[in-house]
Structure 1
Amino acid sequence: MVSLACHLNDSETFTQKALQWAMQFNSVCYLDSNGYRDNYGNIDVFIAVGTAASFLSDGSNTFTKLQQFIDNHPDAWIPGFLGYDLKNEIENLHSQHPNYTEFPDAYFFVPEYTLLIGQYNAEIKGSDPKAIITQIEATEIKDEPLGFKGQLKKRMNRSTYFSAFAELQRHIRKGDIYEVNLCQEFFAEQISLNPLEAYRKLNEVSPTPFSCFFKFGQKYILSASPERFLSKNGRTLLSQPIKGTAPRGKTAGEDDQLKNALATSPKEISENIMIVDLVRNDLTRSAEPGTVKASDLLQIHSFRQVHQLISTITCQIREGISPADTIRNTFPAGSMTGAPKISAMKLIDRYENSRRGVYSGALGYFSPQGNYDFSVVIRTLIYNADNGYLSFHTGGAITDNADPEKEYNECLLKGKALFEVLKSMATG
């Protein structure tokens, strides 16, 4: 593997050419932080292409086998995803709904080439980095039609959602749980779609810190996730659950009012704190005793489509805990389950009427330094070009005092960018 650094006169054009160039490969992971920088992530744009080696979950001992795969490829970038239904391996749970997307529970690959692109420079690793630069610079950025032909349907209609909502609130009042995340699927069958153009449109409409285009074979993940699930930096684990959503205002004044309402909402604050407690509990499984800290609580983060309430929880990793085990010990993200976690997941399987699959799982990478960074798979289109199935989910937290009308509308708000992309594609 040879590494080459080069100066960029126009990093944006080079990045778009590189993404277009990447489409020729069977495996692609493109991550774009869209200029959102924090103290925990240091990648602007990352591109991994080609398959030097790959890992596919076979439905048993996925996290143990994934760690073996990582150990067998030291010094490599290893991007990939973990599906929500891996919960069935971790706990005594099952998923009753069909896997229409036909995605596996986990897929990771060791790339043939990687590119780290900053504002002024790019670092390319591969067998012949000079040839890669030449190929990318010669690539023409295609302006192709978005090409969505099909009809978007709801797996859960409004009355079914309200009925499930009422049943889950009944469980809360009985004391079975005190919060649960109810999600619904929007889908289209036997459709055609230009996944690269769909991703570009999504990233234009909703640029987020964990934007991702992921391809393996004819399966695609097009993500505009704003939420970090878990990162490892040295011995530090960090999770940043989102609980609390408000729309953006039409004017600066209205926007400030909506932000203030979110920051002071007793319901949103209590939801967030519940999940903070759950995540703190999850992290203790991997932590040195006494190191779990909720450092930044209830911070407002503003994105193109919404304001979000985000908290940050950290710990120091105990000796002898592998990277894959630290993920297993907190998986899936508590912000997407509810609390207590196992009871909430049992009820999710009972009252949701679709399989989550990749949705509300995790998407990201292991780095050559032994670190990792994974987002929660939300605000994300899942597309299988082989069977023409397109899917995305949206959801929200149910508590004792939650209003079904407001939560239903929040689901639609969270899906706003995805609806907008598909609408533009149908007419574009």
Structure 2
Amino acid sequence: MPTATFTIEGADFLPKAVLWAESFESACLLHSNAFADPYTAIESILAVGVRDEIVADHTGTFQKIENFKTKHPNDWMFGFFGYDLKNQIEELRTDLPDGLAFPDAYFFIPQILIHFQEKHVLIHAPDGIDIQSIYESICHTSINLKKPILNRPFQKRMSKATYLESFHQLKKHIQRGDIYEVNLCQEFYQTDCFIDPPSVYWHLNTVSPTPFSTFFKFGDQYILSASPERFIAKRGNTLLSQPIKGTAKRGKTTHEDLEIIERLRSDPKEMAENVMIVDLVRNDLTRSAKAGSVTAQRIPQVHTFSQVHQLVSTITCEIDPKVTDLEAIKRVFPAGSMTGAPKVSAMALCDRYEKSKRGVYAGAVGYFSPDGNFDFNVVIRTLLYNRSKRYLSFHTGGAITIDADAENEYAECLLKANAILTALQTKLEN
């Protein structure tokens, strides 16, 4: 595919590119916000237009995507896996309200690909498309980011009283030994709602810049994500997952921040949550690993973001060469940090006590690249929007363990909502 490199000046080319991408039927921006770790492969990348696509629902989704990927061995491929694909992996069923109506999975092969590298962009486009005109079209796009103000609060799918009752019921399951950790999530939503998705995404990214930020458009459906969490990635022969479990609010001063970080590192409850999920992910990765190759960080790292501090662990393995990319993803899906343990029992209980379908929330968005690598986030801290239905939604959740306190966990759910509410300049209903 022909490629050209252009120098960019100023900080407005990327938001212009997002606004320009809105005119395409499908688009995906994966934006690292200059966060980097040893496994970072892409600073930022924007894919637009559709050469080929697959919408998968109901049955055989992973195999359908495997076949689609095999059909395009030398192409970039972008898309998402919805959380409820769990029902195709395990004997589970979800009969909960779903105002968004996203498919279980969607992937596309883009027409145009834009790599952002410091002060340069590399634009890839097929023969017949003038690359210079693409660059000039983006440069000439006017920055018209509408201030995303919602004139009413988000409704709660689960009242505080209902959340506390669900919490206590799940705590009883833990005390009986049915599970030892579970991630209870709740939805906040608006009906008959109109937003400008590029503007909302860019304001969210400004309020809460994160390493796995995503703007994804598929027809009238949008994923506007400030996710801090990597679900699963492949680098050469290495598979890795970086679950987040353990959250604390930011301090008002540097000194207070340092004190909060130290308390988070030494908090028995937060550390226990992290250890349980690391064990779960390590077990999941073992199913795709060469024998004896799974390793995990002994001590989780504290990562600091605009709104919160979080405990992040890294688990790696050498992939068994007989295991395909889609098999490896299926064997760890969905992210253990969003389920609990044992995984299947925890997911079944979430379906019983939660009040809405998770859909894309707690699923994954990312890419497969021509060099054989892939990278997917966990869809958290994310607005989901169906423009034709005028339905806007986000979820938050938190882990329940034997030592968890209901009021504290509810407060953590609200803390995780702060960035979205701030970006939209609104609040939750009382």
- How high is the TM-score relative to the length of structure 2? 0.97
Helix, strand or coil at the partner of 1:181: strand
CA distance in 2, matches of 1:296, 1:365: 29
Q: Which amino acid letter does the alignment assign opposite residue 371 of structure 2? A: Q
CA distance in 2, matches of 1:416, 1:54: 35
1:3 corresponding residue in structure 2: 3
- How far apart are residue 423 of structure 1 and its match? 2.1
1:282 corresponding residue in structure 2: 284
1:26 corresponding residue in structure 2: 25
8 Å contact from structure 1 (residues 181, 396) kept in 2: yes
2:390 counterpart of 1:388: yes
8 Å contact from structure 1 (residues 241, 311) kept in 2: yes
- How far apart are residue 103 of structure 1 and its match? 0.4
2:309 corresponding residue in structure 1: 307
2:98 corresponding residue in structure 1: 99
2:242 corresponding residue in structure 1: 240
Helix, strand or coil at the partner of 2:314: strand
Q: Which amino acid letter does the alignment assign opposite residue 355 of structure 1? A: K
The CA deviation string for residues 310-363 of structure 1, in whole angstroms up to 9 with x for no partner, is 100000110211101110000000000000000100100001111000000001
2:183 corresponding residue in structure 1: 181
- How far apart are residue 122 of structure 1 and its match? 1.0
Q: Which runs of 5+ in 2 are unaligned?
A: none
Q: Which amino acid letter does the alignment assign opposite residue 24 of structure 1? A: S
2:219 corresponding residue in structure 1: 217
8 Å contact from structure 2 (residues 9, 119) kept in 1: yes
- How far apart are residue 150 of structure 1 and its match? 4.8
8 Å contact from structure 1 (residues 148, 425) kept in 2: no
CA distance in 2, matches of 1:255, 1:73: 47
Q: Which amino acid letter does the alignment assign opposite residue 339 of structure 2? A: T
8 Å contact from structure 1 (residues 150, 191) kept in 2: no
CA 1:424–1:152 in structure 2 vs 1: closer, same or farther (change >3 Å)?
Answer: closer
8 Å contact from structure 1 (residues 149, 193) kept in 2: no
1:317 corresponding residue in structure 2: 319
CA distance in 2, matches of 1:141, 1:303: 26
8 Å contact from structure 1 (residues 21, 139) kept in 2: yes
Deviates more, 1:13-22 or 1:94-103: 13-22
Q: How does 1:18-417 map to 2 (within 5 A)?
A: 18-127=17-126, 128-146=130-148, 148-295=150-297, 297-417=299-419
8 Å contact from structure 1 (residues 149, 191) kept in 2: no
CA distance in 2, matches of 1:153, 1:422: 14
CA 1:244–1:413 in structure 2 vs 1: closer, same or farther (change >3 Å)?
Answer: same
CA distance in 1, matches of 2:64, 2:322: 17
The CA deviation string for residues 221-271 of structure 1, in whole angstroms up to 9 with x for no partner, is 000000000001111000000000000001111111111110000000011
8 Å contact from structure 1 (residues 146, 425) kept in 2: no
CA distance in 1, matches of 2:191, 2:46: 30
CA distance in 1, matches of 2:374, 2:152: 37
Q: Which amino acid letter does the alignment assign opposite residue 177 of structure 1? A: I
CA distance in 2, matches of 1:184, 1:236: 34
8 Å contact from structure 2 (residues 421, 427) kept in 1: no
CA 1:387–1:150 in structure 2 vs 1: closer, same or farther (change >3 Å)?
Answer: farther
CA distance in 1, matches of 2:62, 2:145: 40
CA distance in 1, matches of 2:299, 2:328: 22
CA distance in 2, matches of 1:378, 1:145: 23
Q: Which amino acid letter does the alignment assign opposite residue 6 of structure 2? A: C
CA distance in 2, matches of 1:92, 1:425: 38
Helix, strand or coil at the partner of 1:74: coil
Q: Which amino acid letter does the alignment assign opposite residue 181 of structure 1? A: N
Helix, strand or coil at the partner of 1:70: helix
Q: Which amino acid letter does the alignment assign opposite residue 394 of structure 2? A: F
The CA deviation string for residues 163-221 of structure 1, in whole angstroms up to 9 with x for no partner, is 00000000001000000000000011111111111111100100000011100111110
- How far apart are residue 149 of structure 1 and its match? 4.8
CA distance in 2, matches of 1:267, 1:80: 35
- How far apart are residue 425 of structure 1 and its match? 10
- How far apart are residue 147 of structure 1 and its match? 5.3
Helix, strand or coil at the partner of 1:396: strand
CA distance in 1, matches of 2:217, 2:135: 21
Q: Which amino acid letter does the alignment assign opposite residue 229 of structure 1? A: F
Write out the 4+ residue segments of structure 1 that deviate beyond 4 Å after TM superposition. Answer: none
Q: Which amino acid letter does the alignment assign opposite residue 391 of structure 2? A: Y
Q: Which amino acid letter does the alignment assign opposite residue 2 of structure 1? A: P
Q: Which amino acid letter does the alignment assign opposite residue 33 of structure 1? A: S
- How far apart are residue 424 of structure 1 and its match? 5.4
Helix, strand or coil at the partner of 1:6: strand
- How high is the TM-score relative to the length of structure 1? 0.97
Q: Which runs of 5+ in 1 are unaligned?
A: none
8 Å contact from structure 2 (residues 47, 114) kept in 1: yes
